[in-house]
């Protein structure tokens, strides 16, 4: 039996009167890269923000249905939201380094989680920057501002930064949409390496990216899951005509 | 009416705006030069460090400097935490519903009230009702009330200008709300907040109407929060108004102007260093 890490059942998300996600059923397996593709406004990003409850920050947000992570109903009454968010690191579409040094950007989450002591922090920062594939480029200038890095480096910094919180899941919201092909390739390499230790959900506008690195791919359309399956199958023999149309560029 | 050609229009706009700017700056420079030319010759170390003698006709202005500094510090110590706290609450802890709007509207109305009304209010509440008498305490509290709207407003603007993405990032990295506010939002908003506070320091140093009613006009050196004290602005007002000594009045005015300029320059210097350290 495959190991289901996240179990989504009948989940709908509303922002005000707008229904962003409708009656979603989806399983995420441990240590897989699940690609989520679909046209703009199909609920992909909203889905990620439902998993780490960032939607809570949006005015007028409410939901129906359940999401269980390792059996824990994350919208249950006694859930520690801060603790939950530490389990799911998120990388946003636009790289957002905080206005502080490279070192402090990476150490940020670890410090919030209560990690103290220079030696421990130094170790975490180095380890995470290495995993994020950025260490060699910045090891001599950890004190410079994260804002000074190039776009691709900033995004890898953001990836390293979430690793410092020691999450189990990595959520990526179109992480390479603003990056050049080489930076994109570096991020994808990092993700392939990270897969053995983390469960990764990758939302992407670039269907080829999903084809390259996702183990399974889900196709979202207008807030609904059209289908999900092994990436090779989705891209070569999808069950649903709409998936085929989208992949062939007939709409979206 | 015939339209001007785009080139001519551009030129006219340029000249028009230049003139407006020039007039503004010229008036400002004129005032400063006018005061300094009359005030600077009076200035000496003794003028700053000696107490007024003979109602201020001779001697210096030391006790009024002390009074001004004490009042301003007290006012800022009260107004800054309350003002910044209110601003944080309004921007980060509410969804911007009707209650927030009412509070914000109230604060804005407060900002438009003439300072002499604050003086009268302070006189009635602190001086007579609460029996603090004419004192630094009454004056400081009154000034604090007067400064609150400005500090709330400027802090709110500064906090709102922090990119929402910073908050998202902070929360997604497992920060609590409080950590997000103190570690991410406030450091990014600090330069705006400090600017507001510095403007308030300037206003508080220059305030006359609100303090004359509440801190009084005693020339003695203040010894406690309950001493009555005359601020530099009040001293200037009394010297000029009662024709005691115009030269001493200008001397006082010169000190006021230099102090406010000095505070502004120092703050912007520190701020620039801070910004350079954190954002580039």
DSSP letters for A10-47: EEEEEETTEEEEEEEEEEEETT-EEEEE--TTSSHHHH
* Interface with A, mutate which of B173, B175, B274, B280 (most A CBs under 10 A): B173
Q: Is the CB of residue A72 less than 8 Å from the CB of residue A51?
A: no
Whether residue B222 lies inside any domain: the answer is yes
pLDDT tens digits, one per residue of B126-181: 999 999 999 999 999 999 999 999 999 999 999 999 999 999 999 999 999 999 99
One domain, residues B159 and B263: yes
pLDDT at B265 over 50: yes
Q: Does the beta carbon of A43 lie under 8 angstroms from any beta carbon of chain B?
A: no
Q: What is the dihedral of CA B22, B28, B29, B30, to 10 degrees?
A: 100
Query: Is A112's CB within 8 Å of B173's CB?
Result: yes
Find, in chain B, the residue whose alpha carbon is nearest to that of A160.
Answer: B173
Q: What is the nearest CA distance from A18 to chain B, expressed in angstroms? A: 18
Beta strand extents in chain B (DSSP E only): 52-53, 58-59
Q: Is B178 a member of any domain?
A: yes
Asked if residue B49 and residue B38 are part of one domain, the reply reads no
Closest chain A residue to B275, measured at CA: A99
The pLDDT of residue B105 is above 60: yes
Instruction: Select the residue of B96, B168, B188 nearest A99 (Cβ to Cβ).
Output: B188
Query: To the nearest whole number, what is the mean pLDDT of chain A?
Result: 92
Together in a domain, B20 and B94: no
Say whether residue A135 is in contact with chain B using an 8 A CB cutoff.
no
B174: contact with A, CB 8 A cutoff: yes
User: How does residue A149 score in pLDDT terms, banded at 50, 70 and 90?
Assistant: very high
Please answer whether residues B207 and B71 qualify as being in contact, where contact means their C-beta atoms are separated by less than 8 angstroms.
Answer: no
Are residue B52 and residue B38 in the same domain, yes or no?
A: no
Q: Is B224 contained in some domain?
A: yes
Q: What is the pLDDT of residue A2?
A: 64
Contact A145/B at CB under 8 A = yes
Chains A & B: contacts with CB separation below 8 Å: 68
CB contact under 8 A, A161 and B173: yes
| Domains of chain B: total | 2
CATH number at residue B134: 1.10.3720.10
| Domain extent at residue B223 | 45-279
Residue B79 lies in a domain: yes
Q: How far is CA A24 from the centre of its chain?
A: 18
Q: Is residue B210 assigned to a domain? A: yes
Give me the domains of chain A, ranges plus CATH numbers: 4-247 (3.40.50.300)
Residues B233-262: tens digit of each pLDDT: 999 999 999 888 888 999 999 999 999 999
- The string of pLDDT tens digits covering residues A191-222 is 999 999 999 999 998 899 999 999 999 999 99
Residues B30 and B72 reside in one and the same domain: no
Tell whether B97 lies on the interface with A, counting CB pairs under 8 A: no
Whether residues B77 and B31 fall in one domain:
no
Tokens 């509207």 map to which residue?
Answer: B105
Low-confidence winner among A233-237, A246-250, B83-87 (lowest mean pLDDT): A246-250
Contact A162 B175 (CB under 8 A): no
3-class DSSP assignment, residue B132: coil
Q: What burial letters (b/e) apply to B10-47, b meaning 16+ CB within 10 Å?
A: eeeeeeeeeeeeeeeeeeeeeeeeebbebbeebbeeeb
B94 Cβ contact partners less than 8 Å away, ≥ 6 residues apart: B100
Mean pLDDT along residues A230-245? 93
Please report, in angstroms and rounded to a whole number, the separation of the first and last CA atoms in chain A. Answer: 35
Nearest chain A residue to B95 by CA distance is A59
Q: Are residues B24 and B110 in the same domain?
A: no
8 Å CB contact of A109 and B187: no
Mean of per-residue pLDDT scores for chain B: 90
Q: What is the model's pLDDT at position A1?
A: 45
Query: Does residue B1 sit within a domain?
Result: no
Q: Which of A57, A82, A98 has the CB atom closest to B176's CB atom? A: A82
Contact criterion met (CB below 8 Å) for A65 and A13: no
- pLDDT number for residue B278: 60
- Whether residue A142 has pLDDT greater than 60: yes
Q: What local confidence, expressed as pLDDT, does residue B101 receive?
A: 87
Among A96, A145, A158, select the one facing B280 at the smallest CB separation: A145
Shortest Cα–Cα distance, B166 to chain A (Å) = 7
Same domain, B70 and B86: yes
Least confident residue range of B17-31, B60-74, B94-108, B110-124: B94-108
**CA-CA distance, B140 to B225, in Å (whole number)?**
9
Q: Quick one: average pLDDT of B72-96?
A: 93
Partners of residue B172 in chain A, C-beta under 8 Å: 52, 54, 85, 88-90, 162
| pLDDT for the residue B264 | 87
Name the residue facing A54 among B95, B171, B184 (closest C-beta): B171
Q: List CB contacts (< 8 A) between A82 and chain B.
A: 174-176
Nearest C-alpha in B relative to A104: B278
Q: Read off the pLDDT of residues A49-101 as tens digits, 9 standing for 90 and up.
A: 999 999 998 888 999 999 999 989 999 999 999 999 999 999 999 999 998 99
| Confidence at residue B100, expressed as pLDDT on a 0 to 100 scale | 86
Residue B100 domain-assigned? yes
Tell me the shortest Cα–Cα distance from A80 to chain B, in angstroms: 10
Q: How confident is the model at residue A113 (pLDDT cuts 50, 70, 90)?
A: confident
Q: How confident is the model at residue B59 (pLDDT cuts 50, 70, 90)?
A: confident
Shared domain for B145 and B79, answered yes or no, is yes
B residues 184..243 contacting A (CB < 8 A): 184, 187-188
Calculate the alpha carbon distances from A165 to A61, A83, A106, A141, B78 in Å.
26, 10, 9, 22, 38
| Residue B94 sits in the same domain as residue B161 | yes
Ramachandran region, residue A30 (left: φ > 0; alpha: ψ -120 to 50; beta: rest)? beta
The per-residue pLDDT for B280 is 47
Task: Copy the structure tokens of residue A193.
Answer: 């390496």
Question: Are both B223 and B212 inside the same structural domain?
Answer: yes
A94 interaction partners in chain B (CB closer than 8 Å): 165
Q: How far is A239 from chain B (nearest CA, A)?
A: 35
Q: Does A216 touch chain B (CB under 8 A)?
A: no
Residue to substitute from A108, A164, A201, interface B, most B β-carbons within 10 A: A108
CB-count exposure of residue A231 (10 Å: 0-12, 13-18, 19+): buried
ipTM above 0.95, yes or no: no
Instruction: Please judge whether A112 and B167 are an interchain contact, meaning their C-beta atoms are less than 8 angstroms apart.
Output: no
Please return the burial class of A43, using the count of CB atoms within 10 Å of its CB with bins 0-12, 13-18 and 19+: buried
pLDDT at B279 (0 to 100): 57
Q: Does B163 touch chain A (CB under 8 A)?
A: yes
The verdict on B204 and B233 lying in the same domain is: yes
Residues of A in contact with B176 (CB under 8 A): 82, 112
Model's pTM, two decimal places?
0.84
């Amino acid at each position: 039996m495959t190991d289901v890490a996240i179990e989504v059942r009948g989940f709908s998300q509303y922002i005000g009167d707008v229904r962003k996600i409708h009656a979603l059923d989806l399983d995420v397996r441990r240590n897989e890269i699940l690609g989520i593709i679909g046209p703009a406004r199909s609920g992909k990003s909203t889905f990620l923000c439902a998993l780490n409850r960032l939607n809570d920050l949006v005015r007028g947000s409410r939901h129906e249905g359940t999401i269980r992570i390792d059996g824990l109903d994350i919208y249950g009454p006694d859930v520690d939201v801060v603790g939950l968010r530490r389990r799911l690191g998120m990388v946003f579409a636009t790289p957002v380094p905080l206005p502080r040094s490279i070192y402090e950007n990476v150490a940020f989450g670890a410090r919030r989680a209560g990690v103290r002591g220079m030696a421990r922090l130094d170790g975490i920062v180095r380890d995470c920057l290495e995993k994020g594939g950025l260490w060699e480029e910045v090891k001599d200038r950890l004190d410079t501002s994260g804002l000074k890095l190039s776009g691709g480096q900033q995004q890898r910094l953001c990836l390293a930064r979430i690793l410092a919180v020691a999450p189990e899941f990595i959520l990526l919201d179109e992480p390479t949409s603003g990056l050049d092909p080489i930076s994109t390739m570096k991020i994808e390499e990092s993700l392939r390496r990270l897969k053995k230790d983390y469960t990764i959900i990758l939302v992407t506008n670039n269907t080829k990216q999903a084809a390259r690195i996702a183990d399974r791919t889900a196709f979202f359309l207008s807030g609904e899951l059209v289908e999900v399956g092994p990436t090779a199958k989705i891209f070569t023999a999808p069950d649903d005509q709409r998936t085929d149309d989208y992949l062939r560029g007939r709409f979206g | 009416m015939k339209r001007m050609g785009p080139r001519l229009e551009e030129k006219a706009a340029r000249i028009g705006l230049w003139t407006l700017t020039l007039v503004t700056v010229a008036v400002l420079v004129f005032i400063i030069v006018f005061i300094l030319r009359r005030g600077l010759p009076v200035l000496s170390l003794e003028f700053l460090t000696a107490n007024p003698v003979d109602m201020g006709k001779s001697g210096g202005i030391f006790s009024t400097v002390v009074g001004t500094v004490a009042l301003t510090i007290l006012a800022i110590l009260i107004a800054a935490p309350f003002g910044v706290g209110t601003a944080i609450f309004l921007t980060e802890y509410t969804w911007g519903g009707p209650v927030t709007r009412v509070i914000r509207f109230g604060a804005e109305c407060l900002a438009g009230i003439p300072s002499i009304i604050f003086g009268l209010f302070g006189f009635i509440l602190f001086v007579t009702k609460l029996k603090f008498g004419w004192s630094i305490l009454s004056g400081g509290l009154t000034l604090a009330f007067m400064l609150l709207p400005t500090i709330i407003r400027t802090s709110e603007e500064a906090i709102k200008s922090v990119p929402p993405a910073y908050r998202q990032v902070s929360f997604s990295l497992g920060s609590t709300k409080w950590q997000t506010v103190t570690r991410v939002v406030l450091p990014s908003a600090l330069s705006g907040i400090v600017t507001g506070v510095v403007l308030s320091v300037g206003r508080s140093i220059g305030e006359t109407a609100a303090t004359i009613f509440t801190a009084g006009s005693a020339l003695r050196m203040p010894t406690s929060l309950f001493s009555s004290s005359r601020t530099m602005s009040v001293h200037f007002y009394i010297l000029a108004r009662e024709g005691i000594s115009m030269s001493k009045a200008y001397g006082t005015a010169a000190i006021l102007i230099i102090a406010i300029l000095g505070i502004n320059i120092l703050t912007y210097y520190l701020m620039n260093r801070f910004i350079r350290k954190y954002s580039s």
